[in-house]
């Protein structure tokens, strides 16, 4: 029997609540299938851990995680710990340390989710954003000069390597080709006269190898407008780290909200573990009450199943969620219901068994 070893980092706030449901779903999937199994090992890292130990993640964290087939993460962040600490010392450390250079974020309006934009049909919101996840604006390079002096200046440098830019663009082209979809590159070559001109050039050059894929380019500001006004324009979208971060929160808003937004951090070479996580944060405003929507975390679990080649099961999870969203009897507060996180998790399992 195949066994997948999963490192679980529930994190803080609602991270722990939604991941608990995701794990129940994964266990049930393996039990129903019978041909594979999961083993889970928990790591208590995050802000609470930081308050106790002074570390968000242990020093040998990456080394320990490297032994796993995959990582399942909730969310990290707490009001009493600066966000750049939790983000940089855990999330970005894992993404960059394991060269998870693809951040895959589906933006799809599921059946049963009311479309928040007037005049836009459900089938119009169906894209996947391929976000560069290892460098760009989040490379962490920069300087802080003349601190406290009159001439004080800070530099935050974006880093776009040829290798890093080419591989993400190629990944997106391959995806578009495989799924017979169009590709759209989103950049800002008019203002960012080094990084984005370079990006645009590579998009064009790599595109010559994909004459079968329809190719479009947008400036990021115009793209933000069209995400809302006419999302049907976009199918496979490829963009930089920062732009992808911002556009996918916008994408979450047009596809039902943060409670439904999933993301995968992929190391396509499979040299290191990939990481699956809902894109929402720890939501301190609702944490501890058991009311968070577990669907984003469960959609991420569905991406994990797809990554392991269990396409039938990954589809079943989406179908089970669509059933619930359509019936509207067991929903969390963000979708106007009064069910708890656990009740929605249990209902997803029940619907999945019925499929």
Residues 195-234, mask of contacts with Mn ion (x by CB under 5 A): ----------------------------------------
286 binding ligand NAD? (CB under 6 A): yes
Query: What is the Cα–Cα distance from 2 to 151, expressed in whole angstroms?
Result: 61
Listed residue (209, 207, 229) closest to 217, CA to CA: 207
Give me the residue label for tokens 């596809």. 255
Query: What is the Cα–Cα distance from 196 to 338, expressed in whole angstroms?
Result: 46
Give me the residue label for tokens 């040299």. 271
Provide the minimum distance between the beta carbon of 314 and ligand NAD in the complex, in angstroms, as a whole number: 20
Q: Which does 63 bind (CB under 5 to 8 A by kind): ligand NAD, Mn ion, none?
A: none
> 28: buried, middle or exposed (CB in 10 Å: 19+, 13-18, 0-12)?
middle
Q: Which stretch binds ligand NAD (CB under 6 A): 119-127, 199-207, 267-275, 277-285?
A: 277-285
Q: Which does 286 bind (CB under 5 to 8 A by kind): ligand NAD, Mn ion, none?
A: ligand NAD
Cα angle value 127/107/198 (rounded, 5°):
60
For Mn ion, which residue of 12, 89, 137, 245 counts as binding (CB under 5 A)? 245
123 binding ligand NAD? (CB under 6 A): no
> 225: buried, middle or exposed (CB in 10 Å: 19+, 13-18, 0-12)?
exposed
77 binding ligand NAD? (CB under 6 A): yes
Provide the minimum distance between the beta carbon of 97 and ligand NAD in the complex, in angstroms, as a whole number: 16
330 binding ligand NAD? (CB under 6 A): no
137 binding Mn ion? (CB under 5 A): no
Provide the minimum distance between the beta carbon of 141 and ligand NAD in the complex, in angstroms, as a whole number: 21
Q: Which stretch binds ligand NAD (CB under 6 A): 56-64, 132-140, 280-288, 307-315?
A: 280-288
First to last CA, the chain: 24
**Hey, what are 100's tokens?**
């998870």
99 binding Mn ion? (CB under 5 A): no
- Could you tell me if 273 and 69 are in contact, meaning their C-beta atoms sit under 8 angstroms apart? yes
334 binding ligand NAD? (CB under 6 A): yes
- Could you tell me if 65 and 95 are in contact, meaning their C-beta atoms sit under 8 angstroms apart? no
Q: Which parts of this chain interact with ligand NAD (CB under 6 A)?
A: 14, 18, 75-77, 83, 87, 91, 258-259, 277, 280-286, 292-293, 296, 334
């Amino acid at each position: 029997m195949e066994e997948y070893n999963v490192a679980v980092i529930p994190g803080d706030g609602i991270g722990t609540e939604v991941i608990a449901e995701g794990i129940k779903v994964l266990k049930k999937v393996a039990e129903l299938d019978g041909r594979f199994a999961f083993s889970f090992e928990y790591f208590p890292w995050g802000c609470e851990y930081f308050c106790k130990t002074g570390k968000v993640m242990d020093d040998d964290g990456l080394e320990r995680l490297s032994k796993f087939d995959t990582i399942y993460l909730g969310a990290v962040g707490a009001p009493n710990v600066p966000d750049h600490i939790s983000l940089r010392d855990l999330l970005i450390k894992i993404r960059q340390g394991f060269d998870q250079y693809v951040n895959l974020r589906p933006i799809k309006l599921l059946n049963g989710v009311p479309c928040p934009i007037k005049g836009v049909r459900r089938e119009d919101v169906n894209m996947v954003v391929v976000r560069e996840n290892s460098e760009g604006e989040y490379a962490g390079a920069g300087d802080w000069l003349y601190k406290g002096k009159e001439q004080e200046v800070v530099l935050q440098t974006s880093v776009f390597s040829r290798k890093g830019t080419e591989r993400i663009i190629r990944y997106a082209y391959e995806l578009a080709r495989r799924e017979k979809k169009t590709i759209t590159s989103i950049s800002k070559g008019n203002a960012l006269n080094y990084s984005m001109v370079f990006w645009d050039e590579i998009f064009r050059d790599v595109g010559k190898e994909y004459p079968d894929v329809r190719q479009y380019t947008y400036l990021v500001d115009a793209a933000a407008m069209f995400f809302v006004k006419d999302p049907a324009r976009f199918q496979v979208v490829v963009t930089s780290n920062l732009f992808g971060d911002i556009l996918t929160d916008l994408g979450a808003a047009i596809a039902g909200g943060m409670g439904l937004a999933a993301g995968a951090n992929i190391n396509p070479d499979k040299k290191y573990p990939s990481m699956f996580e809902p894109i929402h944060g720890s939501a301190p405003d609702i944490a501890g009450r058991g009311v968070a929507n577990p669907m984003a975390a469960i959609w991420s679990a569905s991406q994990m199943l797809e990554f392991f080649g269990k396409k039938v099961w990954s589809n079943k999870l989406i179908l089970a969620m669509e059933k619930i969203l359509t019936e509207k009897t067991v929903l969390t507060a963000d979708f106007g219901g009064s069910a708890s996180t656990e009740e929605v998790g249990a209902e997803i399992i029940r619907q999945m068994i019925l499929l």
